[in-house]
Structure 1
Amino acid sequence: MQPQIPPGGRISGPRLAGLLGSWRQGGSRHGAADLAAAIELHVLDGPRPHPPPPPPPRGRAPAPGISRTLIGAALDRLRESGIVASRRGAGSWVAAPRRGSGPLVPSGDDLICLARAAPSALPGMAGVLDTARRALTEHLGEHGYYERGLLALRERIAQRYTDRGLPTSASQVMVTNGAHHAFVLVLRMLAGPGDRVLVEQPTYPNALEAIRSAHAVPVPVALDPAGARGWDIAGIEAAVRQAAPRLGYLVVDFHNPTGLRLDAEGRERLGALLARTRTPVVVDESLVELDYEGDPVDGPPPLAASAGDLAITVGSASKSHWGGLRMGWIRASEDMLGRLVSSRFAVDLGSPVFEQVVLAELLAEAGFGMLAQRREEFRARRDGLAEALSWYCPDWTWTLPPGGLSLWCRLPEPMSTRLAVAAAGHGVQIAPGSRFGAHGGLERWLRLPFAQSPDRLYEAVRRLSAAASAVRGTPAPTATEIPIA
């Protein structure tokens, strides 16, 4: 996630330019509006805990070629919306948005949040909780600390990997508090300040934030959403050779945000490359169970099957079952896992027992039947979102993903950040494309999750169409032009 501009603080010109990236979208005539929109988006992201940098010297522009006149016009817009406050002799600073000052950040039932690709709990979860509550009694006489996780749960996770073509034992599995927690544990052990971490472009924003928090440097290799395979294996090989990354982070199953899936041949080539160069890699499989073309057991084998003993696979129940469980896991070689267990003691002492019992029940045979029903439901939501976009946003393009939780949409012009700001005023919260880039950019792209109910998705697209029309200065479609689904 991009660093945010803290309310109550000032920020230097060079740092502001770095935060905003490519903010100019509409040409010289719209420069003030573009600059104001970019700053507003970063402020609305929320405060940061660190103190703000000193204010820029008087009269200095945030970047070469930006006039003081343009900055003044942008500040006027930000003052009107309450984002910036000024006082003669003291300059201007970021202010917390005023409560009740308009629809800058709609909330409550009227707000449709498409910034998270997170579904509600799996239907039937209440019955599983009752079963788990009874099963918990056999653990109440024990101490409750399991640094690797409950054996029964690890055995079921291991069996799933084995069924998918990656022979695994319970001794190769450690339970964590979600896949992101798993990645942070690996990152903490294997990478340090200044180390390079190979990532896809675009990629999962929280992974980028974790890399930056470790003071490591993300090294992006671009994906091609319209390509036959998506992954540029030759580009990855060049990046490994030139940058010598200490670690890689890849999502090859229903990639977040593009929804792409690397085929079996591509996995063999990529795995062989990583094994040959002895490059440790974290393979994030958080979305692997959301396969809309069949059971994941029948899909391509995990990347770790060809990437060697330095491949570390992380998984999660958050996307497939429910984020409220906060349950994930690491699958690695016994040697690597032993090192991870030892380093974990500095962070936490294990995962909650009850949630582990719940997940063990969900990974029983009956639980996979529940997942099959969820796949059918989400496939229908994916198709419904695509249909709504076809009517309301006909000049947007996308490739229908074979799995995952989102569409990666190409916009008709570079406007993702401006659209995110405008959409907030229409009651829709979205993450602009820049969030998914290692160094910003991606202004022609927008991720739209389809985890919510069909009627909410349809209404969200209607509102987005209105926001996009406002940004582009074109008339929005009327209700008589669009069939009611």
Structure 2
Amino acid sequence: MNTQYVSGLHLARLLAGPPDERPYYAALAREIRRLVLDGRLPARVRLPAERDLAAALGVSRTTVTAAYDRLRDQGFVESRQGAGSWTALPSGTVPPGARFGMSHAWPGSEVIDLGCAAPSAPRIFPEAVAAAVARLPEYEAGPGYEPAGLAVLRATVAARYTERGLPTRPDQIVITSGAQQACTLLFQVLVESGDAVLAERPTYPHALDALRRRGARVVPVGVDAGWDIELIGSGLRQAAARVAYVIPDFQNPTGRLLDDAGRAALVAAAQDADALLVADETFTELPLAGSVPRPLAVHDPARVICVGSAAKLLWGGLRIGWIRTTAPLVRRLVLARESFDIASSVLDQLITDELLHRIDEVRAERVEWLTRGRDALTAALGELLPDWTFTAPAGGMSLWVRLPAPVATDLAAAALRHGVRVMPGPVFGTEGVLEDRLRLPFVLPPETLRTAVERLAAAYREVESAPAARPLPAYV
């Protein structure tokens, strides 16, 4: 069991403060639940004993006991006799929503999941599966795993990079179990504990998690208004960062696209600072209009390491990603990968290979679906929440919305009560900033997105009318 622990005083400081409403135990449970939902209180963290939290808050132990009981009923706390209580996420919090993004996270409530930016499988998926299964006997005589990935898929991915203007050989490709594992593996090999790593803010939150687990010192650089190359270069030099994690193609979550001149300048800044660039290309194949510039690595194929994924274009259930880099680094990554999971599923790799050979069909379906979703979401927001502002992206899967006030975390908690799950801005950054931002994916059907915005509007009215939270008294 995880030994991470939060003390009574620490949890008291994390809470928003003694609320005015009663009963107090219900408000306390709501605030702890909010901390879990916005990621400030991770799952599997042991909570303070009831008497310790009661003392820190200046309330009775009975009040804390009732709050913990309510959280247990809701699935946010688990307990075991003699072992204490720890945070949890309700079982089925985000079950597969099929093509309609609906789930039963709590009894009697249908939750629309706008926290996940991933579409359902494409129409040709069953055909790809059947073709992959037919090819599976070709691999029965072997050990069943290849740490670098199946040669056929490595060749397909390499050919796609070559088509996009970056000549690539199969021995420059490592197949991974998703882009998340690709990032984790790269940080494991390239970053030592205490190293400075530059990361965009906002950025993909799981990459930040991987850096923190590695013990890296994250140096954030703001890209909310676009890439300031001078600022990025200065950050690289002043922090002596050897690695930078960037998302040049339909940046997650802003949706921005770095043009070719900006890419050349970014690589030049990395060269000047002698830093490696890890370029997350998860959304590269999803322009909704126009085209995407050549890969960032075109400007320095050895210095820029590309990370790709089948999850967004093909299907999230295919836990297949890849890394494109130099052959010597590939060999290092393969050796390091063996301590993770040895290799990716043969069947998943074959399905991915089949789908990549029909990439034009898949992309056309995705573009049609996502364009409809984006247009429906922007229209609903314009009608029901006209004070919310955003720029409709030319690709990717999400809107990055600016709220009139810094209430994103409170809004996310209220939205869940109204039956829609959203990710508040602070999840995508460091130091608790971005409270006036919300990421809203448009991967669900237009009618579902309309319903989601109606629920968000009701949740926002609730947050607007709520009394301001009072600060906690200081504890020493």
Query: What is the TM-score of this pair, normalised by structure 2?
Result: 0.83
Match of 1:88 in 2: none
Q: 1:98 to 1:131 in 2, by over 3 A?
A: closer
3-state DSSP of counterpart to 1:403: coil
- Give the alignment of 1:158-169 within 5 angstroms: 158-169=158-169
Q: Give the Å deviation of 1:156.
A: 1.3
For residue 65 of structure 1, what is the aligned residue in structure 2?
Answer: none
2:264 is the alignment partner of 1:268: yes
1:439 aligns with 2:431: yes
Matched, 1:342 2:361: no
Which AA in structure 1 matches 2:363?
A: L
CA contact (8 A) 1:270 1:307 kept: no
Question: How do residues 2-401 of structure 1 correspond to structure 2 at under 5 angstroms?
Answer: 11-14=7-10, 17=13, 38-44=31-37, 48-52=43-47, 79=67, 82-83=70-71, 106=106, 110-224=110-224, 227=225, 230-294=226-290, 298-364=291-357, 366-401=358-393
Percent identity, aligned pairs only, is: 40
Measure how far apart 1:353 and its partner are: 0.9
Measure, in 2, the Cα distance between the counterparts of 1:430 and 1:47: 17
* Conserved? CA contact 1:396–1:412, under 8 Å: yes
Once the two structures are TM-superposed, the CA of residue 125 in structure 1 deviates from its matched residue by 0.3
Distance 2:108 2:120 in 1: 17
How far 1:147 sits from its partner (Å)? 1.6
Question: Shift in Å at residue 241 of structure 1?
Answer: 1.2
Contact 2:43–2:87, Cα closer than 8 Å, also in 1: no
After superposition, give the CA deviation of every residue in 1:325-344 in whole Å (9 maximum; x if it has no partner): 10110000112112111221
Other-structure match for 2:413: 421
Matched, 1:467 2:472: no
| Cα shift readout 1:249-303 (whole Å, capped 9, x = no counterpart) | 1111011111111111100000111123221221111111111114xxx421111
Taking a change above 3 Å as real, the CA distance of residues 174 and 16 of structure 1, as seen in their structure-2 partners, is farther
Q: Distance in 2 between matches of 1:186 and 1:125?
A: 30
- Check the 8 A contact 2:117/2:443 in 1, yes or no: yes
C-alpha separation in 2, matches of 1:466 and 1:270 = 42
Mapped partners of 1:124, 1:47: distance in 2: 38
Cα 1:95–1:380 shift into 2, 3 Å? closer
Hey, what's the Cα distance between the residues in 1 that align with 2:31 and 2:355? 43
CA distance in 1, matches of 2:341, 2:87: 37
Do the aligned residues in 2 keep the contact of 1:434 with 1:440 (CA within 8 Å)?
A: yes
Among 396, 399, 405, the alignment partner of 1:404 is 396
What is the distance in 2 between the residues matched to 1:107 and 1:314? 39
Distance 1:97 1:300 in 2: 40
Contact 2:389 2:401 in 1 (8 A): yes
Q: Relative to structure 1, is the Cα distance of residues 200 and 34 closer, same or farther in structure 2, using a 3 angstrom cutoff?
A: farther
* C-alpha contact 1:38 1:418 (8 A) present in aligned 2: no
Identify if the C-alpha distance between structure 1 residues 110 and 57 changes in structure 2 by more than 3 Å, giving closer, same or farther.
closer
Q: Secondary structure at the match of 1:330?
A: strand
Unpaired segments of 5 or more residues in structure 2?
Answer: 74-83, 92-103, 467-476
- Whether the aligned pair in 2 keeps the contact of 1:105 and 1:425 (CA below 8 Å) is no
CA distance in 1, matches of 2:276, 2:375: 37
User: What residue number does 1:478 align with?
Assistant: none
Amino acid at match of 1:440: G
**Cα contact 2:117–2:441 (8 A) shared by 1:** yes
Q: Shift in Å at residue 121 of structure 1?
A: 0.7
* TM-score (normalizing by structure 1): 0.81
C-alpha separation between the residues in 2 aligned to 1:235 and 1:258?
18
What count of residue pairs does the alignment treat as equivalent?
A: 436
Seen in structure 2, the aligned counterparts of structure 1 residues 138 and 175 have a Cα distance that, compared at 3 Å, is: same
Q: Cα–Cα, structure 1 residues 372 and 190, in superposed 2: closer, same or farther, change >3 Å? A: same
Deviation at 1:165, TM superposition (A): 1.5
SS in 1 for 2:274: coil
**Alpha-carbon spacing, 1:140–1:83, altered in 2? closer, same or farther (3 Å):** closer
For 2:422, give the aligned amino acid.
Answer: I
Paired AA for residue 299 in structure 2: S
| CA offsets 1:90-148 (integer angstroms, 9 cap, x no match) | xx98887999xxxx964687111111111111121011111111122222222222121
CA gap 1:128/1:233 in 2 versus in 1, 3 angstroms: same
**CA gap 1:185/1:94 in 2 versus in 1, 3 angstroms:** closer
Q: Which moved more, 1:152-161 or 1:392-401?
A: 152-161
5+ unaligned residues in a row in structure 1: which ranges?
A: 62-67, 86-91, 475-485
In 2, the alpha carbon distance for the partners of 1:205 and 1:383 equals 26
Q: What's the CA shift for 1:368?
A: 2.1
1:34/1:204 CA distance change after superposition, 3 Å = farther
Note the C-alpha offset of 1:174.
Answer: 0.9
**Residue 324 of structure 1 aligns to a residue in which SS?**
coil
| Local SS of the residue matching 1:447 | strand
CA distance in 2, matches of 1:97, 1:183: 25
Q: Structure 2 counterpart of 1:49, which letter? A: R
Is the 8 Å Cα contact of residues 284 and 292 (structure 2) preserved in structure 1? no
User: Given the superposition, is the C-alpha separation of residues 325 and 109 from structure 1 closer, same or farther in structure 2, using an over 3 Å criterion?
Assistant: farther
- Partner Cα distance (2:71, 2:330) in 1: 48
**What SS is found at the alignment partner of 2:317?**
helix
Relative to structure 2, which stretch is displaced further, 334-343 or 170-179?
A: 334-343
Q: Would the alpha carbon gap of residues 256 and 262 (structure 1) be closer, same or farther in structure 2, given more than 3 Å must change?
A: same
One-letter amino acid matched to 1:139: Y
Alignment RMSD (CA, Å): 3.4
1:472 & 1:84 partners in 2: Cα distance? Answer: 29
